[in-house]
Structure 1
Amino acid sequence: HEIQPWGHLVRMPIALAESACKESVANLNQVLADTMTLRDLYKKHHWQVSGPTFYQLHLLFDKHYAEQSRVIDVIAERIQLLGGVSVAMAADVAETTLIPRPPKGREPVPIQISRLLHAHEIVLKEARTMARLAADRADDGTNDVLVSDVIRTNELQVWFVAEHVVDTPVVRAK
């Protein structure tokens, strides 16, 4: 028995138009699904990394996993605050995410890094677009979450990950 069906908004007295809340909930659920996928990609690579930079990447990937987990909580709580229902289960995330699914097996470090950078780029591109839309609708709280939490966290993580391949030709994952 559901107390709030998926896609149904509960009106919250936050001085924001219902249409703005509805658009932000839909946008944030997309970013949430992609952020959950990115987080899990970090944990996969944390477990499966190998090679001469194993130790550094093992720790870095776990640190980024924890940071993405914090961002996930912020996004999900913003969705609930807007009166929406946040995507939560793995199957629903898999149906929603725009990030390509990696193979189950272990991949070499350059491909792991390529996957992570591509996933970050997806999240950053959509977060920038959605932040502008939220600002246009006077949804300052959603804009702040997208800029302060999603964009800034992802940009910093891109920098840290990309520096591991600064002198290495980029290898694209298929």
Structure 2
Amino acid sequence: METAITASSTEPTTLPRSGGQPLLHQKGAETQAFGTLKQLPIGLGHDTRMYACQRLNRVLADTQILYSLYKKHHWLMRGATFYSLHLMLDKHAEAQLAIVDALAERVQSLGGVAVGDPRHVAELTTVPRPPDGVEEVPVMLSRLLDAHERILIEARDAAARLSAEGDEGSTDLLVSDVIRTGEAQVWFLAEHLVDTPLVRG
């Protein structure tokens, strides 16, 4: 049992302990609404940080969808190139998941709220929804390439505009992580769509 000293007495008063019981089913109001900022002393003005969070959240939503597409197609891959594509798509998915985390943490470090709930992501993304079932392998790869291109266009524009605003931290993240990783993954995917003979020149 814990003890406490009351203001009216120097005798210890016994306080009940919970016995380690979790306090379940808690509810409460949001402490920060999506689309708002808290003040952080990072040397960037409110408007710049607000704009950065908006642009980063757009890229973040699309990147979360791209990650999910990679996992979906990793699971549903088939055919003669199954093994190599199955492994490659999973490796690409891991890299995209790392970018998701980096983008979300950047939004938080700017004082914003990162989009995290999949249902909210679905409202913000520009990447078209795929069929629920299985598509042909070239179609799945083309769908990934389309998602990459959408993200790369958005990331390039956001990086240029945020650099002009003085937000070099967000610009560096977009260029070094989103754009460079995306470009490399596009290269690997696109080369699997080249129609070339395997055994005869």
TM-score, structure 2 as length reference: 0.82
Q: What is the rounded CA distance, in whole Å, between the counterparts of 1:128 and 1:8 in structure 2?
A: 24
**CA offsets 1:94-118 (integer angstroms, 9 cap, x no match):** 1110000000100111000110000
Find out whether 1:167 has 2:195 as its counterpart: yes
Find out whether 1:104 has 2:154 as its counterpart: no
| 1:167, distance to aligned residue in structure 2 (A) | 2.3
| 1:17, distance to aligned residue in structure 2 (A) | 1.1
The structure that has the greater radius of gyration is 2
Structure 2 residues without counterparts, runs of 5 or longer: 1-28, 197-201
Amino acid at match of 1:75: L
Q: What is the rounded CA distance, in whole Å, between the counterparts of 1:16 and 1:166 in structure 2?
A: 46
Q: What is the rounded CA distance, in whole Å, between the counterparts of 1:24 and 1:8 in structure 2?
A: 12
Find out whether 1:56 has 2:101 as its counterpart: no
- Which residue does 1:171 correspond to in 2? none
Q: What is the rounded CA distance, in whole Å, between the counterparts of 1:133 and 1:120 in structure 2?
A: 20
Residues 73-152 of structure 1: pairs in structure 2 closer than 5 A: 73-152=101-180
Amino acid at match of 2:104: A
1:45 to 61, 66, 73: 73
Higher-helix-fraction structure: 1
Looking at both structures, which has the greater relative contact order when contacts are Cα pairs under 8 Å and sequence separation is at least 6? 1
Q: How many residues align structurally?
A: 168
Amino acid at match of 1:143: T
Find out whether 1:71 has 2:96 as its counterpart: no
Q: What is the rounded CA distance, in whole Å, between the counterparts of 1:4 and 1:154 in structure 2?
A: 32
Q: Percent identity?
A: 53
| 1:166, distance to aligned residue in structure 2 (A) | 1.9
Q: Where in structure 1 do 4 or more consecutive aligned residues deviate above 2 Å?
A: none
TM-score, structure 1 as length reference: 0.95
Q: What is the rounded CA distance, in whole Å, between the counterparts of 1:109 and 1:37 in structure 2?
A: 19
Look up the SS of the partner of 2:192 in the other structure.
helix
Look up the SS of the partner of 1:135 in the other structure.
helix
